[in-house]
Structures are given as C-alpha cells and as structure tokens.
Amino acid sequence: METLSLPLLFDAHLDLAMNAMEWNRDLRLPLEQVRRREQHLKDHPDRGNGIVTFPEMRQGNMGLCVATQIARNVDRFSRLLGWASPQQAWAQTQGQLAWYRAMEEAGELKAITHRAALEQHLLDWATESSAPRPIGYILSLEGADSILSPAHLEKAYAAGLRAVGLTHYGPGRCGHGTDDSGPLTPLGRQLLKEMERLGIILDATHLCDESFRDALDHFSGPVWASHSNCRALANWNRQFSDAQILELISRGAVIGVAVDAIMLVHGWRHLKSKPSDFNLTLQHLADHIDHICQLAGNCLHVGIGSDADGAFGTEQMPLDLQSIADLQRLGPLLTARGYSAADIKGLFHGNFLNFLRRCWP
C-alpha cells in the first residue's frame, strides 16, 4: 500500500500508553506478532484481538493522533477497575508519560504541543521517506482523577498535556461520568478554571448529562469530543443526544466517532453480543458520521476518534475493521453516500486540524 497516496488519518483518541503499560503490548511490533504473544492469555476479553500498532498506523497513513493518559481513582467498594488513591493514579499517569518519552527517543512518536510543531509535522509526514516516520501525538488525559490539584494540572501542561476529559465511567473526583449522574465537583470546577487559563481543550466525552451541562456552563475555552457517537443510533447515555450534539456544534466542537460496537447499534449486550449478530460493518460508523453532518448542515464538526483497542478488540468492532489501517475503507463508503473528496478530507483529518489551528495561536 502506497501510504502517501492515501488521505492522512487523524485519530482523536487512542489509548496507546494503556496498551503498552497495562496490556503489555509492544506497539513497535507487527500486529500479527502482538496477537501471537497473547494467544494463551485470558486476563482480558480482547487478548489477541487488538488492531493498533505503529506499523499498522503507518500502513493506514495515520500520521497524527490524540494519545491518552488514563488512571481512574475508585473507592474500596467500587466494581470499576482503578487505583485506590489519587496519588497512585497520578503516579500511573507519570509512568505512561515516561513510556511516551521512551517512544520519542526510539523515533516512533513525536510530541505535538503547539501550532508551529503541528504544521512542521504535517510537512514532514507528507515528505517521502525510506525510513519509518515518527507518528505525531497530542497528549490527552481521559478522566482527571489523577490531577491532585490545579498546580498538578499546570505541571501536566508543562509536560505536554493539551486536552482533558474530567470524567470517565461512574463517579469521579471531578464529576460524574458514563452510567452515573450528578454535576461537577468543586475540584472539577477548579480544574475547569485552570484549563481555561492554560488553554487546555475540554474533552466532553464521558461526561454524564448533568456534568456535561455543568461543564459547558462554566467553561468558555475550546471544547471537543474525542470519541463519542450518537444516542439516536445507539441508545446509551455514553452517546450524545441530538440536543447535546447541536450544542457542541454551536461551540465549534469537533466530535470524533468511535468504533466500539456498543456505541454503534441499539441493543448490544456487553460480553454477550458479537459483531456478526448485527452484521456490524464500517457502514454503521458512516451512519453516525452522517447523522452528525445532517444535524450540523455541513461536514465540519465530525472526525474520527476510534478508541480502537480501548480495552476491547475485534470481538467488539465492525467485521471489516481488522487493522487500524482499515479505517481508510471509510473513504469509498462515504463517497458512495455522496460525500465529496473535500468532505472526506475534512472528516479524516481536516476538521480536527482546523480546530487545533483555531485554539493554538
């Protein structure tokens, strides 16, 4: 595959460090080797089913992504996985940061923290090279339980953090997330003020409806949704209602659509359903893209935030998505629906890049 002949892919949500540090995946290896190393492991349902490695990202011309740190803090009675104290969660994110730095030293990744670096990286990625080029990454924090104080947020910003989602699943130190209800906490409000001062992007993904309302009412900085789909097509509070999508559009947000099956169709039963039960394909992802575009009246507010290998694999993805490179298959599917080449360029990368250009002076 001639990658430079493919449109550039920007993925707004990949849990690269989680896969490396908690799933113990060496993302420098070919995908088949990563899968073979896991063929006898049973600690996670997605063992042997991952689709993300650096070679596969390059194969699909994915030259840029938003890469996460993630470490939830949970109380002793919670059934959610997480760390027993915020300090442990902070330490976990610092270990993940050390892995990103190691991948930079190895020439696999390149941190993108400001507009000049973004533009230079795009030029470099578009240049023919006989050697593998480093993949650009923008550092994001999924769930802010690990941020001990506003001073720690400033420290994280200095280390490259550029986007923050205040919540993840359930109750958190900053607010309430998926499958929960309630407003932001006092710490969440404090962090919003500091995010606005520093210019950190608010990621609206995983905010429950009440915390979503609270966050948008108290934050006037840049907002995106890195990996969220449409509640109208997959009826679960993890997705956005049409009213929420319209509000995000009014704020100039871009919404990254995700490949998780439970976020694509009505009626998916976690750990019970199979993609074949729904004949699940990338056409379903195109449905969510189209729904957002119809609400917006244009193609400017949607992109890709796959969440691929976000603690699930091909057992919970479209049947025609066996590698992250297969996201390129979306192009012909959207063309068949009447989307222009310019529309697809925006959906694949342009909308998120223009968002960053607006909020990074």
Q: Is the pLDDT of residue 173 over 60?
A: yes
Q: What does the pLDDT read at residue 3?
A: 63
**What CATH number has the domain bearing residue 137?**
3.20.20.140
One-letter amino acid of 298: N
Count how many domains the chain has: 1
306 token code pair: 């796959």
Q: What is the mean pLDDT of the chain?
A: 97
- Residues of the chain with pLDDT > 70, as a percent, come to 99
Mean pLDDT along residues 45-63: 98
Confidence of residue 297 (pLDDT cuts 50, 70, 90): very high
Q: Is the pLDDT of residue 17 over 70?
A: yes
Domain that holds residue 216: 3-359
Q: Is the pLDDT of residue 202 over 80?
A: yes
DSSP state of 73: B
Query: Among 85, 188, 203, 50, which residue's Cα sits nearest to residue 139?
Result: 203
Query: Among 47, 45, 23, which residue's Cα sits nearest to residue 270?
Result: 45
Q: What does the pLDDT read at residue 81?
A: 87
CA distance 244 to 218: 16
277 token code pair: 């039960």
Backbone angles phi, psi at 223, to 5 degrees: -130, 135
Name the least confident of 127-131, 221-225, 267-271, 302-306: 127-131
Confidence of residue 75 (pLDDT cuts 50, 70, 90): confident
Backbone angles phi, psi at 216, to 5 degrees: -70, -25
Tell how strand 135-142 and strand 62-69 pair up.
Answer: parallel
Backbone angles phi, psi at 201, to 5 degrees: -75, 135
CA distance 167 to 249: 21
Confidence of residue 1 (pLDDT cuts 50, 70, 90): very low
Query: Among 28, 278, 262, which residue's Cα sits nearest to residue 134?
Result: 28
Q: What does the pLDDT read at residue 292?
A: 98
**pTM (2 decimals)?**
0.97
Q: Is the pLDDT of residue 204 over 70?
A: yes
- Residue for token digits 């924090």? 141
- Angle at alpha carbon of residue 159, lines to 153 and 164, rounded to 5°: 45
**Rg of the chain, C-alpha, whole Å:** 19
**HEC string of 192-249?**
HHHHHHHCCEEECCCCCHHHHHHHHHCCCCCEEECCCCECCCCCCCCCECHHHHHHHH
* Residue 18 Cα to chain centre, angstroms: 12
